A and B are shown apart, each in its own frame.
Chain A
């Protein structure tokens, strides 16, 4: 089925460990995004990508790394996890346009850093 898939759905890790969250979309959308959702903050943009090999920082990029070697995949890596990175992470994609294309979201990864 077409869609956007995130894995894992749940992850518990320890402070200082490296963690990679996966995101895969089947629409061939050029734009992909990583958001984190925290109570009281709504969704905040971490990184986004306009196409393969093109990425840029969002509002809260510190402590995160992204790559996009293929259009359909957009993994997010926490290089050295901290407790403040405990959150729900959402990947999204959208078709190119004049800003009116809606985002399509995955079901999220709930990450707990102990």
Chain B
């Protein structure tokens, strides 16, 4: 079975400061990991993914994420937060051993990011 945990319901950060949104996962095989962002009354938008290769993945809007296999984590980061980054962020995972179902992802419960002036 595949699962993902986002331990923080909300993260508050001041504009200009670095931000981190945490995610840990559990899979039987190798993980395919994703981050999505959701703005109010909108669907989820893809930010970045880790499939294989370099542990530091860069994505849209200046976001990056670091894959750590030993800690089974995939934390989302940004060096300098903007007020416009305020949104709901979801981590998602797919187990490489999962057959069929295309890109059937399991999502975390989401972390609300609030960036204040």
Using a CB–CB cutoff of 8 Å, the interface residues on chain A facing chain B are: 4, 30-31, 33, 35, 40-45, 48, 50, 56, 58, 90, 92, 94, 96-108
Contact = CB atoms under 8 A, between A and B. Distances in A.
Given A30-B102, A31-B103, A94-B103, A102 B34 contact: yes
Contacts of B44: 43, 90, 92, 103, 105
A42 B43 contact: no
B41 interface: yes
A97 B110 CA distance: 26
Interface in B4-40: 6, 32, 34, 36
Interface stretch (B68-76, B77-85, B90-98): B90-98
Nearest to B52: A100
B46 A40 contact: no
Contacts of A90: 43-44
Sort chain B's interface into a size bin: 20 to 34
Given A42-B108, A42-B109, A43-B107, A107 B41 contact: yes
25 contacts: A33-B104, A42-B90, A42-B109, A43-B44, A43-B90, A43-B107, A45-B104, A48-B101, A50-B101, A92-B43, A92-B44, A96-B102, A97-B102, A97-B103, A99-B51, A100-B32, A100-B49, A100-B103, A102-B46, A103-B34, A105-B36, A106-B43, A107-B42, A107-B43, A108-B41
Nearest to B98: A99
Contacts of B45: 105
B87 interface: no
Given A42-B90, A43-B90, A108-B43, A102 B104 contact: no
A58 B90 contact: no
A37 to B, nearest CB: 9
A35 B32 CA distance: 19
Nearest to A33: B104
Contacts of B109: 40-42
